[in-house]
Structure 1
Amino acid sequence: MHVIATAGHVDHGKSTLVRALTGMEPDRLEEERRRGLTIELGHAWTALPSGERIAFVDVPGHERFLGTMLAGVGPVPVVMFVVAADEGWMPQSEEHLVALETLGVRLGLLVVTRADLAEPGPAVLEARARLARGGLGQAEALVVSGRTGEGLAELRAALDRLVSGLPAPDAEAPVRLWIDRVFSVRGSGTVVTGTLPEGRVSTGDELEIDGEPVRIRAIESLKEPVDSATGVARVALNLRGRLTPERGRALVTAGAWTSTDLVDVRIHAAPGFDGPLPRRLTAHIGSAAITCDVRPLGVLVARLRLGRRVPLHLGDLLLLRDPGGHRAPRVLAGARVLDPRPPGLVRRGAARARADQLAAAALDAPSLLRVHRLLRGEQLLAMGCELPGPPVEGDWYADPAHWSSLGERLAEAVRRHGDDHPLEPGMPLEAARHELELPDRRLVTALIHPPLKTVGGRIVSGPSGGLPATVAGAVRRLAAELSERPFLAPEAGHLTALGLGPRELAAAVRAGALLRVADGIVLLPGADARAAAVLAALPQPFTVSQAKIALSTSRRVAVPLLEHLDRRGFTERVDDYHRICRVGGS
């Protein structure tokens, strides 16, 4: 299926033309038919000569219903622009074209209708010239009469040619269906309608409206029940959920869109508008019309504060309109979303710096990462980006320059922490996370590369294990003394003379540079396993005296060392005087 919006000023001509093409009445309201004035969105459909099905969204032409017109054309990328031969190009024709041009609609047909009432040539020439300036210069022009049927066969053939060249939508894209009508059906409940531009909806699917889950109970497309529908399609969805939907809300795939009320945008003025934007405007996207406050950041960039949250992607286009008041409403500008979750502007000069960033911004993940520095993959996808290669850790992505800078800052933070806390065995991981203002401790771990390493939940640098040079030197001197008799632990006075007082010993033990056997008894790391190997060679069982001799140590050391070996499972007491050595240990 393909969906085309019918735009232009001449309401009765458009409705008559759609009626003649489809055999359906697009004007649902009695007042519309009585006055010949389209007030609400109309819908009709037909099959083309090729067999392709096409649906029309007939939008109001009168200036008072410009908001409704935008709700109809917003989700539709193709237009059938209708001009009356007896009226020609009208101010409302201009307003519609400005809106379409600002929305970036570049595909369509020009149809000059009511050819039975006036010579169509002048209207065709004028309209073609204006559409060419509005970006629709390739639109084929046709002359028809909805009343007499003149030119309808040629129009159907032209519609076939138009839709055959349309790009195929992505059936796997996330769903965003802007609701343009809501009603209730007895026995079924709430039904919403809208144009599905891409993606797929199926019976039983769970979607969201404003963060609230809703489930699709049933689907109709062109009044026919279906199990699923893929874009582009006109669909009616029977929903079940607690939220009461309304026009201007969107049904979306959960987690696939960024729900936001603050966006940074690039402004492009609508044709004919060259003044500064008012500070309060109406922003249109899809079928939504939302009051917004405008904060200019630079010449062509601004920050919009929307009156409510809407689901957006990077690159989405909002149309900014003066809501009117004593004047007729005017389309003033288009606003291309450059960042759907922009950073705060709190420091002096932040707005100017942000304007410079946005001026160079591209519609991709690297551009967003240059601003946000770190983002999860799910955040990038919800912002409408493809993931930029492998993550730096888990599902975290980083701006390369920022990631490199973090590595340098971490090394400096570890060095500075060592200077400020000389007896601590390195910098705690959590302290490093706070220092670098990182949202996840795993990111700290991912930044650790030689000569940095982690020991016991702390980051240390170099072979000293993070010990100050004086403590590391004292440990080396102790190791040299223990090289001859590794189990003869020195007494406290000698340790102090070596430079290993209580605080220095504690730091060395925490860093794994020394093994604390008991209070006042320290040996080199691994000494307990080596002692067990010596004791395993003794006749079993053995006494404390036998162990003392075998280990070439004193009773002061042998007793607590054997108790340590018992706790580690290297040895086991068999009575008050004897032990046996066990294989292994804990």
Structure 2
Amino acid sequence: MTTAPLTSMSVVATAGHVDHGKSTLVRALTGMEPDRWEEEKRRALTIDLGYAWTTLPSGCTVAFVDVPGHRRFIGNMLAGLGPVPAVMFVVAADESWKPQSAEHLAAAAALGVEHVLLAITRADLADPGPATRRATAELADAGITPMRSVAVSARTGAGMDALRGALDDLVAGLPRPDPEARVRLWIDRSFTITGAGTVVTGTLPAGTIHVGDTLELSGRRVGVRSLQSLEQPRESVSGTARVAVNLRGVGTEELHRGQALLTPGAWPTTSVLDARLTLPSGSRTVAELPERLMLHIGTAALEARVRPLGSDGARLTVEEPLPLASGDRAILRDPGTGRVAGALVLDVDPPELRRRGAGARRAEELAARTAGVDLATEVVARGHLGAAEARRLGVGDDELDHPPHGIVRHSDLLVDSRVWARWQQALRDVTADHARTHPLEPWMAAEAARTAAGIPRLDLVAPLARSAGLLHEGGRVHEPGLTASLGAAEAGLAAIEARLEERPFAAPEQPDLDAARLGPREIGAAVRAGRLLRLRDGILLQPIAPAKAMRILAGLPQPFTTSEARAALGTTRRVAIPLLEHLDEKGWTRRLDAGHREVVR
């Protein structure tokens, strides 16, 4: 039996030097053992990520991601810190600031963590004042102001109530995540439970996962069999929360830390991204960094090739595609030196840099670009953008429904107004050129016009034609009032038309057409222009000839024979039979037998 949906939790990561009491402090706060692996317990050292939780005085539940402090396990630390919005930074009063303190601080600063609580442990062993002052100064140098600093002793319990109150204040200041947001759960652990199957765990920053949901994992669909949070079964879990997801359709051998469970079709995946870097101390430009660094984002850790774009911009290329969005924060780490740089993702679908000077131009664009997804920027960069792709980039439906000035929306496509104007002009140009070069058929087929004008989709031709002052009808595009021009054959056609005006059913024969210089192309143009009507066997009459024939045939005794109709119309059998068949097809006359017809009343 599942419990009620879990919708209220905050998640805080620990950070600090090895053996400064992070796990001991979490154990004292929660009464739980965060170090769950046998080797961790045996060595009294956090090797992988640990988890525990408690209820604060306010009633809020807070879950801790306890990260390893030893430098050998820095990758595990970054996996725990990456998805979490707040940090409890731990410094021991008796040892003060240490090398991994600085490394953890650099990582937190690179990730842009703003919600930090400073905990000075072992206050029973030494005066916490010096360690507090040193740690506060180090955090300030990194651009971080802790919300509060609290001196505690997990052994004696001194300061623990104050720490719980400070944690209440810390989580109260965290931004409220959107439960309707798209899901991206970075996996930090995967394992098998007998009778349940594959389970993955992670920190859900936003969105909601329900039992029965279908999620996307590395390009495939997997089902959510069940959920747990705080070791209780749940019908649904909303971020921010620690969650265990029992998956259907995937085995643990197919899973690894760094993959992500996603809302299907909602995230772009990319192996190339442009970012703005926050450089480590001592570096002035991106060009001074190694060409290859480790990229840590979410729980993923991949080697990245770094191409400088200006002083602080870079193009990062990784070996596997990742589900990223503009505004994501990552860490670039040099495994050799341990130095880290922060990376703010600016573009997850960057343009190729092939032409001379493209890198310099791109550097200027990135320097002016802000974090987050801006619809106008994304559309202008591409010229046009589909609504589905815009959603994957992170654009909300409200902005799509009300695009900013300068963006034209047609159906599911958003177009830069300057590109729309170019398409309009191109459509005018290609249709005008077609009319000049094809005077007998000046009406251009819409698909041909689309291709010639460089318009990406056929359904855009009609609205572009309207806005360009053109007509789009019968699958063709042309200027209003356009008629076919027969050139030298115009006089001959006029003579044929005059002859048919006098004798409507005296269809011209081939010698007449030859004398009038009317070949097949000219006749076809005249028919399409509505100046001639073509019946079976190549009989040419006035378009109004059927109506004239009906007035005559209606005056005959009914039914009438073909001979009687021919005589009344004053024409030959060559013309009369195709004309009568045409009237039958229109439903104006009805054939009764082999020799008789009647007018349909």
Q: TM-score higher than 0.5 here?
A: yes
Residue number among 369, 375, 391 corresponding to 1:381 in the alignment? 391
Aligned equivalent of 1:408: 425
Between 1:262-271 and 1:43-52, the stretch displaced more is 262-271
Corresponding letter in the other structure for 2:101: S
Residue number among 494, 497, 519 corresponding to 1:501 in the alignment? 519
Corresponding letter in the other structure for 1:444: V
Three-state SS of the structure 2 residue aligned to 1:388 is helix
Question: 1:516 and 1:83, CA in 2 relative to 1: closer, same or farther beyond 3 A?
Answer: same
Structure-2 separation of matches of 1:377 and 1:347: 29
Q: By how many angstroms is 1:501 displaced?
A: 2.4
Aligned equivalent of 1:578: 596
Contact preservation (8 Å) 1:491, 1:520: no
Q: CA RMSD in A?
A: 2.7
Q: By how many angstroms is 1:567 displaced?
A: 3.2
Aligned equivalent of 1:283: 295
Are 2:197 and 1:189 aligned? Answer: yes
Structure-1 separation of matches of 2:463 and 2:438: 24
Question: 1:563 and 1:157, CA in 2 relative to 1: closer, same or farther beyond 3 A?
Answer: same
Q: Deviations over 1:90-131 (max 9, x none)?
A: 222222122111211101211111111111111111211222
Three-state SS of the structure 2 residue aligned to 1:11 is coil
Residue number among 53, 61, 65 corresponding to 2:61 in the alignment? 53
Structure-2 separation of matches of 1:93 and 1:236: 30
Between 1:465-474 and 1:537-546, the stretch displaced more is 465-474
Aligned equivalent of 1:563: 581
Structure-2 separation of matches of 1:483 and 1:133: 97
Structure-1 separation of matches of 2:515 and 2:313: 69
Contact preservation (8 Å) 1:41, 1:58: yes
Q: Deviations over 1:523-581 (max 9, x none)?
A: 44454355445534544223445545665666554332222222333322224443212
Where structure 2 has 5 or more consecutive residues not aligned to the other structure, the ranges are 1-8, 403-407
Question: 1:531 and 1:130, CA in 2 relative to 1: closer, same or farther beyond 3 A?
Answer: farther
Question: Percent identity of the aligned residues?
Answer: 51
Structure-1 separation of matches of 2:566 and 2:283: 98
Q: Deviations over 1:52-77 (max 9, x none)?
A: 11000011122222211111011111
Where structure 1 has 5 or more consecutive residues not aligned to the other structure, the ranges are none
Are 2:554 and 1:542 aligned? Answer: no
Q: By how many angstroms is 1:485 displaced?
A: 5.5
Three-state SS of the structure 1 residue aligned to 2:535 is strand
Aligned equivalent of 2:6: none
Question: 1:537 and 1:58, CA in 2 relative to 1: closer, same or farther beyond 3 A?
Answer: farther
Aligned equivalent of 2:262: 252
Aligned equivalent of 1:3: 11
Q: Deviations over 1:459-480 (max 9, x none)?
A: 2333225667777887677656
Residue number among 404, 411, 425 corresponding to 1:394 in the alignment? 411
Corresponding letter in the other structure for 2:432: R
Q: Deviations over 1:443-499 (max 9, x none)?
A: 233322264333443323332256677778876776566556555544445545555
Question: 1:485 and 1:395, CA in 2 relative to 1: closer, same or farther beyond 3 A?
Answer: farther
Aligned pairs (5 A) from 1:207-286: 207-242=215-250, 244-275=254-285, 276=287, 277-286=289-298
Aligned pairs (5 A) from 1:76-95: 76-95=84-103
Contact preservation (8 Å) 2:434, 2:442: no
Between 1:385-394 and 1:141-150, the stretch displaced more is 385-394
Question: 1:44 and 1:410, CA in 2 relative to 1: closer, same or farther beyond 3 A?
Answer: same
Contact preservation (8 Å) 1:393, 1:442: no
Aligned equivalent of 1:335: 344
Between 1:385-394 and 1:25-34, the stretch displaced more is 385-394
Contact preservation (8 Å) 1:63, 1:328: no
Aligned equivalent of 1:464: 482
Contact preservation (8 Å) 2:78, 2:299: yes
Contact preservation (8 Å) 1:11, 1:60: no
Contact preservation (8 Å) 2:284, 2:311: no
Contact preservation (8 Å) 2:537, 2:578: no
Question: 1:195 and 1:366, CA in 2 relative to 1: closer, same or farther beyond 3 A?
Answer: same
Three-state SS of the structure 1 residue aligned to 2:518 is coil
Corresponding letter in the other structure for 2:394: G
Question: 1:203 and 1:465, CA in 2 relative to 1: closer, same or farther beyond 3 A?
Answer: farther
Q: By how many angstroms is 1:213 displaced?
A: 1.1
Question: 1:473 and 1:17, CA in 2 relative to 1: closer, same or farther beyond 3 A?
Answer: farther
Aligned equivalent of 2:209: 201
Between 1:16-25 and 1:555-564, the stretch displaced more is 555-564
Question: 1:415 and 1:401, CA in 2 relative to 1: closer, same or farther beyond 3 A?
Answer: same
Q: By how many angstroms is 1:220 displaced?
A: 0.7
Contact preservation (8 Å) 2:20, 2:90: no
Aligned pairs (5 A) from 1:167-178: 167-178=175-186
Structure-1 separation of matches of 2:23 and 2:107: 20
Contact preservation (8 Å) 2:227, 2:236: yes
Q: Deviations over 1:261-280 (max 9, x none)?
A: 12233333245532423222
Q: Deviations over 1:224-265 (max 9, x none)?
A: 111111111101111111352211100001011012212233
Three-state SS of the structure 1 residue aligned to 2:400 is coil
Residue number among 11, 16, 21 corresponding to 1:13 in the alignment? 21
Q: By how many angstroms is 1:180 displaced?
A: 0.5
Contact preservation (8 Å) 2:327, 2:344: no
Aligned pairs (5 A) from 1:110-129: 110-129=118-137
Residue number among 293, 314, 320 corresponding to 1:302 in the alignment? 314
Structure-2 separation of matches of 1:539 and 1:198: 85
Aligned equivalent of 1:319: 331
Q: How many residues align?
A: 579
Between 1:470-479 and 1:453-462, the stretch displaced more is 470-479
Q: By how many angstroms is 1:24 displaced?
A: 1.0
Structure-1 separation of matches of 2:475 and 2:489: 20
Contact preservation (8 Å) 2:118, 2:146: no
Are 2:58 and 1:40 aligned? Answer: no
Normalising by structure 2, report the TM-score. 0.89
Contact preservation (8 Å) 1:425, 1:508: no
Contact preservation (8 Å) 1:375, 1:398: yes
Q: Deviations over 1:143-185 (max 9, x none)?
A: 1111111100001011111212222211111110000011111
Structure-2 separation of matches of 1:68 and 1:38: 10
Three-state SS of the structure 2 residue aligned to 1:184 is strand
Q: By how many angstroms is 1:510 displaced?
A: 4.2
Residue number among 522, 526, 536 corresponding to 1:518 in the alignment? 536
Contact preservation (8 Å) 1:464, 1:472: no
Q: By how many angstroms is 1:36 displaced?
A: 3.6
Are 2:462 and 1:445 aligned? Answer: yes
Corresponding letter in the other structure for 2:260: A
Structure-2 separation of matches of 1:400 and 1:472: 43
Question: 1:475 and 1:349, CA in 2 relative to 1: closer, same or farther beyond 3 A?
Answer: farther
Three-state SS of the structure 2 residue aligned to 1:247 is coil
Question: 1:578 and 1:255, CA in 2 relative to 1: closer, same or farther beyond 3 A?
Answer: same
Structure-2 separation of matches of 1:471 and 1:344: 54
